[in-house]
Amino acid sequence: MARMPADTHCPYCALQCGMTVGGAGTVAPREFPTNRGGLCQKGWTAGSLLSHPDRLTTPLVDGVPASWDSAIGHVADRIRDLQAAYGPDSVAVFGGGGLTNEKAYLLGRFARVALGTSQIDYNGRFCMSSAAAAGNRAFGIDRGLPFPVTDLDDAEVVVLAGANVAETMPPLMGHLTGARLVVVDPRRTPTAERAVAAGGLHLQPVPGTDLVLALGLLHAAVTEGLVDRAFVEQRTSGFDDAWRLAAQWWPERAERACGVAATDMRTVVSWLAGSARRYVLTARGAEQHAHGVDTVTAWINLSLALGLPGTPGSGFGTITGQGNGQGGREHGQKADQLPGYRRIDDPAARAHVAAVWGVDADSLPGPGRSAVELIDAIGTPGGPRALLVFGSNLRVSAPDAARVAAKLDALDLLVVADFLPGETARRADVVLPVAQWAEEEGTLTNLEGRVLRRRRALDPPPGVRTDLDVITGLAAALGFGGFPTTPRAVFDELRAASAGGPADYSGITWDRLDAGEALHWPCPEPGHPGTPRLFLDRFAHPDGRARLVPVDHVPAAELPDDPYPLRATTGRVLVHYQSGAQTRRVEELAAVVPDVFVEVHPDTAARAGLVDGAWARVESRRGRVLARVRCVLSVRPDTVFLPFHFGDGQAANLLTNPVLDPVSRMPEFKVAAVRLLPVSGEAVSA
């Protein structure tokens, strides 16, 4: 049913552009600080999915339409049987960084109270976990951007390490028009093109060597006398230990390892040190590595040495990817966390949250497995036998996708709540149709830590329920009533659970958000104005100082060799989003990039017997992908690139390496050893 037009936010990336959705599902941009009246192609076409013919509207049990009562009852019965036979951890939950704060919060409560399982994690483990771990380690808190996006408007120099924002969040480029850009990326992306055209630099490191580059930059800062000594002495600790390791990476040595010219390193440092308003921003290109935490830490060390974080007009930040990637990692759907960004192994945190939930703190399970480890444990003694998935398409988004598919197929019960039949939902035992973004109420937290209201413009189609309805319905069927049932009631409980935690939402009320207040957490009490800029007076460690942490280069877990001589790296393209389950169904977007492609240097293609436009088989030790060849002069001859938005035999994650960062448990999406082979047209069509 149509309603009055609603001011809400785009369902895609963490920029959370403001838009108005009409009662018929039409989309129009509106003035909002992050997008200032603009939208990208994905945002403009978001409304077309609200009435898409593929829309799921009826629960399915073993592929057969079922009533909601029978579907929920079936899932509850299977959960009871499995837990009776194999214990609470035999049932696992997998969430997503696109879920509202309320869904993420209630999913965590459902897992730990109604299921009593420790086995819950989410797809943000693939996206932001390395940056979050590095931020917590250095600053004592993780908020992607500890300053508003609009602060970038006045920047003189911005370093984008592994960020292709011209394609991933185009409206952000409007905040960078006055800055000299330095783009760190193995590819000559549209972001890099714009940087060079405007007098900036494109630094093109060998995939997996971003940390070496950051160490070389720090070395140049020290030896050129550009370190902000007063800032380092007054506001940080650990500089000498960090420098002891960085001292061995003088720019010329770093150049031999990473491929970036030493002269360019010294130029970048001089630009940063010689400017009053300067920022360093990291994103997935720096983070999705087996040592991504250390890589982000190296960029933080450089930023602290130059006095950027906590200085008005300057800063360090990480660009959050998913729509609620920030809020989604704050409120309890992550394996080691409770609401308010509390640690689940902290007795005080457990006591506080247990009191809000009305349970004994000792009844709460401890930390569970991270995303890849959770999936990998399926089919092993003590591992999950059932998996409930909300807001994630694991068959496309997880590394080593063929192994993931086999693991999911081995489950006794796979339940997927979704609104479109993605690759994971198509193979589920039970599919539960849920509402889309414009059909629900709630809150999200964008990349600046600003809490936003999602408002309903339409009612869901008949037969469709919200994720909150599904969670509370399952809890009730398992004998756990008393869960809050409306988004506002869930948010109020979330506020209480977060009170006193690092991500304190207790002073943020539904009414304040509806009145249009711009509230960034922490906001610890009613009337508090929120905290748009962190670290101006002190960092979040007890002594108020930021930490420089010593890090050193470790090679990628898989290096090229004779059988697999090339490095493959993965990423995004302008017209698609995440696993592509949504954007591949939008005609205007799919027509631009209908299939997976592989970017190859022409010389590399020629050596493999390939030409532009031909089909190639890209093979790693884990799988193979059929991809259309795009010959690109600017790509490194030792590197190929594939977008990860496609499923089945075109899934780039068939190639990727599931080796994990030892701290964040982030998989190494950005480096895999591969080879290229020609494929005949007949083989492709077959």
Mean pLDDT of 196-205: 97
CA-to-CA distance for 47 and 27, rounded, in angstroms? 6
Long-range contacts of 590-596 (CB under 8 A, 24+ apart): 593/643, 593/645, 595/627, 595/628, 595/646, 595/650, 596/625, 596/626, 596/627, 596/628, 596/642, 596/643, 596/645, 596/646, 596/650, 596/651, 596/652
Domain annotation covers residue 505:
no
Domain annotation covers residue 596:
yes
Domain annotation covers residue 522:
no
> What pLDDT band is residue 684 in, cutting at 50, 70 and 90?
low
Domain annotation covers residue 122:
yes
Same domain, 134 and 120: no
The pLDDT of residue 134 = 98
The pLDDT of residue 4 = 79
Task: Evaluate whether 396 touches 581 at the Cβ level (below 8 Å).
Answer: yes
The pLDDT of residue 415 = 98
Strands of 216-344, DSSP E: 236-237, 278-282, 315-318, 337-338, 342-343
Tens of pLDDT, residue by residue over 424-474, are: 999 999 999 999 999 999 999 999 999 999 999 999 999 999 999 999 999
Domain annotation covers residue 598:
yes
Same domain, 304 and 176: yes
Mean pLDDT of the chain: 96
Query: What CATH number is associated with residue 210?
Result: 3.40.228.10
Last residue of a domain, one of 299, 318, 337: 318
CA-to-CA distance for 239 and 261, rounded, in angstroms? 25
The pLDDT of residue 3 = 72
Same domain, 115 and 160: no
C-alpha pair distances (Å), 477 with each of 61, 105, 434: 17, 19, 18
Same domain, 146 and 295: yes
Same domain, 107 and 176: no
Query: What CATH number is associated with residue 430?
Result: 3.40.50.740
165 pLDDT higher than 80: yes
Domain annotation covers residue 194:
yes
> What pLDDT band is residue 2 in, cutting at 50, 70 and 90?
low
Same domain, 161 and 102: no
State the chain's maximal CA–CA distance in angstroms: 71
CA-to-CA distance for 430 and 422, rounded, in angstroms? 13
Domain range enclosing 339: 68-126+324-485
Tens of pLDDT, residue by residue over 39-59, are: 999 999 999 999 999 999 999
Last residue of a domain, one of 318, 353, 380: 318
The pLDDT of residue 682 = 46
Tens of pLDDT, residue by residue over 84-137, are: 999 999 999 999 999 999 999 999 999 999 999 999 999 999 998 999 999 999
Tens of pLDDT, residue by residue over 371-395, are: 999 999 999 999 999 999 999 999 9
Percent of the chain with pLDDT over 70: 99
86: left (phi over 0), alpha (psi -120 to 50) or beta: alpha
189 pLDDT higher than 50: yes
Task: Evaluate whether 441 touches 487 at the Cβ level (below 8 Å).
Answer: yes
Same domain, 298 and 169: yes
The pLDDT of residue 549 = 98
Q: What SS3 state is found at 65?
A: strand
685 pLDDT higher than 50: no
Mean pLDDT of 416-425: 97
Q: What SS3 state is found at 232?
A: helix
Same domain, 238 and 194: yes
Same domain, 332 and 285: no
The pLDDT of residue 681 = 61
Q: Are β-strands 442-445 and 450-454 bridged in parallel, bridged antiparallel, or unpaired?
A: antiparallel
Tens of pLDDT, residue by residue over 542-588, are: 999 999 999 999 999 999 999 999 999 999 999 999 999 999 999 99
CA-to-CA distance for 504 and 141, rounded, in angstroms? 12
Last residue of a domain, one of 462, 485, 508: 485
The pLDDT of residue 23 = 85
User: How many residues make up the chain in this entry?
Assistant: 686
Domain annotation covers residue 503:
no
Task: Evaluate whether 138 touches 304 at the Cβ level (below 8 Å).
Answer: yes
CA-to-CA distance for 235 and 250, rounded, in angstroms? 26
Same domain, 182 and 312: yes
The pLDDT of residue 24 = 87
Same domain, 303 and 343: no
683 pLDDT higher than 70: no
Query: What CATH number is associated with residue 633?
Result: 2.40.40.20
Same domain, 293 and 435: no
Domain annotation covers residue 192:
yes
**Domain count across the chain:** 3
